[in-house]
Amino acid sequence: MKGPGRNIYAISGFIMMVYGQFFPAMVSEWTSHLFDMIEQSILQNESGLLLRASFTYITWNVFAFMLIYSGSMLSAEAVSKDRKRPVYQLSFAFIVLINVFLYNMMYNEYESYFMHLMMVITYLVLQLIIPEQPFSLLAQFVLLFLILVSFSWLDLYPGLAGMNFGTDDFAASLKVADSYLSEFEILQNLSLSFFMVFAVLAVIFTVLIYLFNQQITTMKKVQEQERELKETRDALLESNVYKEIHALVHDLKTPLVTVEGLISLLEMKLARDEKAVTYFSKINSATSKMNEMISEILSEEIKQDINVDDLISYVISHINFDHVNIDFTWSAENNIPPVKVNRIRFARALSNVIENAMLSLGEQKGYIHFSATNKEDGVLFRVEDNGPGIDQENLKKIWEEGFSTNNSSGIGMPFVKQVVENHQGTVRVESVPHQKTTVEIFLPFKQGDEHDFNH
Amino acid sequence: MKKFIGIFVLSLLAVLFGIYQSASGLKEYTPMWPNLPAPIGSEPILITSAGQGAEGAVTHLMVKRLNLNANYRPRALATDIYDYETILIYIGYSKNGVKNAFRNFKEEKERIKRIVTFANHQEIPVILIHPGGSMRDDSRTIELIKEVLPLSDYFIGKRKMDHGKDVLEMSIQHKIPITLVKETRDMLTPLNSVFR
């Protein structure tokens, strides 16, 4: 447990122990009433009144020691959070016995150390079964209460006087009174019955908590497995879609080769027609570009050197800026060396970022600024807008597939990250809602370099 | 296994503690007298308490059952004994009882000592009764017994007492007749022998 948590436990425990120690002094009227009840039960030779006095004594005793035991438990938690460790167990026993000693000293009482030691052992054995879970502290308090009630009744069992059980003032008075009134018939049966009832309740409670926790654990496991299964299904589905697209793009190559071949034949046949030659040259250039694009789509590893200006122009050419309310500007430093990228995929990644900015602005008026800066070891692409932005909680989720704040597919930003990382680049998003959102993509010239965004 | 170490150590401690308690406490002592051979007391009787234990009223019940003329005045003073022929003192210290009587232990001890001294002076027999036995033989109760036993005429107690040996030795030393019984109701016989 860390410092502040430990201190809270220690302080709470100490306060409870102090309250427990001063409890008899705080309830002196109740104490006096209990004394009178015992005396009157004898003077009136009334067993019923003695029974009432016994119940009052148990309540009085449980109140006082519940505070002391709970305080000791919290203090022991401050020493060691793990209740199954010997340090916790011995600390708890030590604190309880010290408290009993102080209680005896303060009130000239004769609380039995042996009985309290037995109570501590019983609690420690049962609490081993209670697993760590959010409500385990509450469960510990309930368990302590049941054990305390159970052993308090044992205090009134006359047969255990030899083991110094029930040597405190009221217990002694009740037992002596009962020894004459019913020759121990009342307390012997009553104390043993209630001891058994509460001891069994303590065991049942512990087992129930254990079973409940097992059920929760099983449910969590099932939920986790279901989630993993869903993820696997989604991944499989996605993989199938990619495979189909991949196959489709691959199949485009065959008709393209046919087109290229037939164009070559036509070019040879119409070699004397200058106009036709010019057209064929343009068609050839277009088909070879298409071929390159297909190759780049089919293989992420195909990269080529490209000027940053050309890359930006290529990106912008694929975006529809008909939106009247958006003030779109872009800039690129002049001295940026060419970058080696998979043009199709990297341009798509940059387009995604810009389109996200446009989507976030929606119908409202705003600006988007797209820039490229030379950072010596690479190029820093920055897209800045003044849309509604992303709050801190959602900022952590934008890299998760399927997450979207604008009902889109939710694969845009994960795709950006995947492409940038494939180029050994880094991507960072910062947002101050309703002020400014910035996406920075760093692309190293020498791939493998990492960029420190703070410099 | 590690999680059982603490519990094992504490259990060992409890076993040792239990063995020590069984060995040191709770011994049965044979009674010196089954009851008094001749009565020494007469009525009216003043029943008072040394230690103010709530269960002192048991003595009053016993006397009522024996149809003896008695008054139960747990807080009686030495000046109250003139009207009585016998003083019957219940012994059992109760911190709540003493507090309820607005006294402390020292004052309580002083009060009972005065009563016994005054009774001796007036030649009024003093009978001590201790039905608490092992349930009520804490150090302060034993201190009260030691204070008044040498000045009393008869002691009725229980066989099972942690400090039974001390009480027995003291009664022999001061030649005080003593009867130790098994159960509280068994005290009726020796108590009756004081008066009849």
How many Cα atoms occupy the beta-carbon half-sphere of A75 within 13 Å?
A: 22
Tokens of A355: 């389109």
**What is the reported pLDDT for B152?**
93
The answer to whether the Cβ–Cβ distance between B54 and A109 falls below 8 Å is: no
Distance between CA atoms of A246 and A297, rounded to whole angstroms?
8
> A34 to chain B: which residues are within 8 Å by CB?
96
The answer to whether the Cβ–Cβ distance between B17 and A113 falls below 8 Å is: yes
**What is the reported pLDDT for B26?**
45
Closest CA to A81 of A151, A176, A5: A5
CATH for A305-444, among 3.40.50.300, 3.30.565.10, 3.60.40.10, 3.30.1360.10?
3.30.565.10
**What is the reported pLDDT for B69?**
92
- Angle at B30 (CA atoms; ends B27, B32), nearest 5 degrees: 135
User: For A176, which residue in chain B has the nearest alpha carbon?
Assistant: B132
| DSSP annotation string for B112-181 | HHHHHHHHHHTT--EEEE-TTGGGG--HHHHHHHHHHGGG-SEEEEESEETTHHHHHHHHHHTT--EEEE
Domain B28-195 carries which CATH code?
Answer: 3.40.50
- First and final CA of chain A: distance in angstroms? 38
**CA distance to partner chain B, nearest, from residue A157 (Å):** 11
> A161 to chain B: which residues are within 8 Å by CB?
26, 134-135, 160
The answer to whether the Cβ–Cβ distance between B54 and A39 falls below 8 Å is: yes
Whether the CA torsion B119, B124, B128, B129 is positive or negative: it is negative
Q: Where in chain A is the domain with CATH 3.30.565.10?
A: 305-444
**What is the reported pLDDT for B113?**
94
Count of CB pairs separated by less than 8 Å, A with B: 140
**What is the reported pLDDT for A323?**
60
C-alpha A70: how far from its chain's center?
29
Tell me, yes or no, if A27 comes closer than 8 A to chain B by beta carbon: no
Distance between CA atoms of B145 and B125, rounded to whole angstroms?
16
The answer to whether the Cβ–Cβ distance between A43 and B14 falls below 8 Å is: no
Domain boundary assignment for chain B: 28-195
Which residues, given as ranges, of chain B have pLDDT below 70? 1, 21-33
**What is the reported pLDDT for A455?**
46
pLDDT tens for B60-115 read: 999 999 999 999 999 999 998 988 999 999 999 998 899 888 889 999 999 999 99
**What is the reported pLDDT for A192?**
92
Are A195 and A153 in contact by the 8 Å Cβ rule? The answer is yes
**How many residues does the structure list for chain A?**
455
Q: Which amino acid is at A405?
A: T
User: For A125, which residue in chain B has the nearest alpha carbon?
Assistant: B7
> B54 to chain A: which residues are within 8 Å by CB?
35-36, 38-39, 42, 173, 177
Of B2, B94, B99, nearest to A86 by CB-CB distance is: B2
The answer to whether the Cβ–Cβ distance between A117 and B25 falls below 8 Å is: no
C-alpha A165: how far from its chain's center?
48
To test the contact with chain A by mutation, choose from B135, B141, B181 the residue with the greatest count of A C-beta atoms within 10 A, namely: B135
**What is the reported pLDDT for A62?**
92
- b/e per residue B73-85 (b: at least 16 CB within 10 A): ebebebebbeebb
pLDDT tens digit at each of 455 positions of chain A: 545 577 888 899 999 999 999 998 888 888 889 999 999 998 888 888 999 999 999 999 999 899 999 999 999 988 887 778 888 889 999 999 999 999 998 888 888 888 899 999 999 998 888 877 767 788 889 999 999 999 999 989 988 877 778 888 899 999 999 988 888 888 888 999 999 999 999 999 999 988 988 898 899 999 999 998 998 888 788 777 777 777 787 788 888 888 888 888 888 888 888 888 888 888 888 888 888 778 777 777 778 888 888 888 888 887 877 766 788 888 888 888 888 888 888 888 888 888 888 888 877 888 999 999 988 888 999 999 988 888 887 777 777 766 666 555 555 788 888 888 888 899 999 888 888 899 999 999 876 555 555 54
Tokens of A350: 């940059």
**What is the reported pLDDT for A344?**
81
Are A315 and A348 in contact by the 8 Å Cβ rule? The answer is no
Of A117, A169, A174, nearest to B96 by CB-CB distance is: A169
| DSSP annotation string for A35-81 | HHHHHHHHHTT-HHHHHHHHHHHHHHHHHHHHHHHHHHHHHHHHH-S
> A46 to chain B: which residues are within 8 Å by CB?
none
**What is the reported pLDDT for A404?**
63
Distance between CA atoms of B105 and B99, rounded to whole angstroms?
9
> A179 to chain B: which residues are within 8 Å by CB?
131, 135, 183-184
